[in-house]
Structure 1
Amino acid sequence: MKKLPVIILLVWMCISCQRKKESGLENSKNAVVLKDSVFSNAQSIREWELSVQGLWDSEMLCRKANCGLYVIGDRRNELWEFVKDSVRVYANGLNSKKLLNVFRAIHNGDKIILESSPDSLSESRLKIKVVLDDITDNVIKGTQTITTEENCTSVFDLELTRTKKR
């Protein structure tokens, strides 16, 4: 009879140890899945960043305007440069090698969203938002919306093509 409680205790300890091993194994599997997921997301971000870096020629056509800043049919051409620093991707809008705008770039699923807001030093008080939603290796298409302080809005169709200039 004295051996029975000891045997029960030993069986209980073995079962408990087995559950801890299974739990530890499950936690290890979850950690590997999480690590793979984070690595995969980081890899897709790096691929996106690398795929857009460089110089792009832009063609813009005004298709909607509710003020005199731009009129429907206006065409604009600029050189855009996508660059990456240690933190994020930016797009610089250039005209005759003069910097016009700096956009913060965000990759949102299947879109690239660029936003530029006037700063305190800027003479221009334009807010510009670009949504690029048709993205291929050498051509990116979307829309650019320009809004002034007076809520004057102009919308442009935008097409970026990899520049042939070097």
Structure 2
Amino acid sequence: MSVLRTILLLTILLLMSCGRKEKDLEAREKQLLFREKEFSAKEEDYKNLLKFRDSVLLEDSIKSDTSYSRVWPDSLKGSWNGRLICRESSCSTYVIGDQRTEKWIFENDSLGALVKILDNNQLKRILRADYISDKAELSFIADSLNSGNVKINAVLDNFNKKVIKGTQTITGRDGCLVKFSIELSSAPKK
């Protein structure tokens, strides 16, 4: 009987060790699934970082290909005498052929390039600018308290040493539209 007991004990021990091994195996499997999920999340973060890096590099290459600048070059900084002629108008306040003379001052500040526009030596408005290659895009949006809902956009796309040409579009409060041709000539340096 002792042999039978021994066999019974060995069988019980064997079954118990198999049960432990199964539990250990299940625990290891759960750990492995958890690690795979962690790895998958890190891999996704890595892919997103690569996409972000690639988009930044692409944006930088576009800017460098087009000579993007947040400041005016020295050749443009300073005062320019402006002559604007109305070429198109759906606003009652402007007629085709109307002319304006203004002083445009090209400057840089901590936010980038800007143009101050003076009329009779009084500051009329400030336009923010993006200068890309040989093209400058300027914009002004008045606040509702100041000059109504007026939007002004200008594009300067013909640069010479003494003359700059472009167009200016004004959208009035009531949605009317006025287009001016711009000709800026270099003001004598003081």
Going from structure 1 to structure 2, the CA distance change for 1:126 and 1:120 (only over 3 Å counts) comes to: closer
- Rounded to whole Å, the distance in 2 between the matches of 1:119 and 1:49 is 30
Which of residues 156, 159, 184 in structure 2 aligns to 1:132? 156
TM-score by length of 2: 0.61
- Rounded to whole Å, the distance in 2 between the matches of 1:102 and 1:137 is 23
Q: CA deviation at 1:121?
A: 4.2
Please tell me whether Structure 1 or Structure 2 has the larger radius of gyration of its CA atoms: 2
Residues 57 and 78 of structure 1 are in contact (CA less than 8 Å); yes or no, is this contact kept in structure 2? yes
SS at match of 1:49: coil
- 1:82 maps to 106
Residues 111 and 131 of structure 1 are in contact (CA less than 8 Å); yes or no, is this contact kept in structure 2? yes
Q: Over aligned residues, Cα RMSD in angstroms?
A: 2.3
Matched residues, number? 128
What is the one-letter code of the residue matched to 2:182?
L
- 5 Å-filtered alignment, 1:17-166, equals 41=64, 45=69, 48-164=72-188, 166=190
Moved runs in structure 1, 4+ residues, more than 4 A? none
Residues 49 and 89 of structure 1 are in contact (CA less than 8 Å); yes or no, is this contact kept in structure 2? no
User: Which consecutive residues of structure 2, in runs of 5 or more, have no partner in the other structure?
Assistant: 1-56
Residues 84 and 182 of structure 2 are in contact (CA less than 8 Å); yes or no, is this contact kept in structure 1? yes
Going from structure 1 to structure 2, the CA distance change for 1:90 and 1:46 (only over 3 Å counts) comes to: closer
What is the one-letter code of the residue matched to 2:128?
R
Residues 72 and 106 of structure 2 are in contact (CA less than 8 Å); yes or no, is this contact kept in structure 1? no
TM-score by length of 1: 0.69
* 1:53-82 alpha-carbon deviations (Å, 9 max, x no partner): 100000011010012120001000000101
Residues 127 and 148 of structure 1 are in contact (CA less than 8 Å); yes or no, is this contact kept in structure 2? yes
Q: Percent same amino acid at aligned positions?
A: 39
Residues 59 and 160 of structure 1 are in contact (CA less than 8 Å); yes or no, is this contact kept in structure 2? yes
- Rounded to whole Å, the distance in 2 between the matches of 1:55 and 1:110 is 18
What is the one-letter code of the residue matched to 2:78?
G
User: Which consecutive residues of structure 1, in runs of 5 or more, have no partner in the other structure?
Assistant: 1-33
SS at match of 1:51: coil
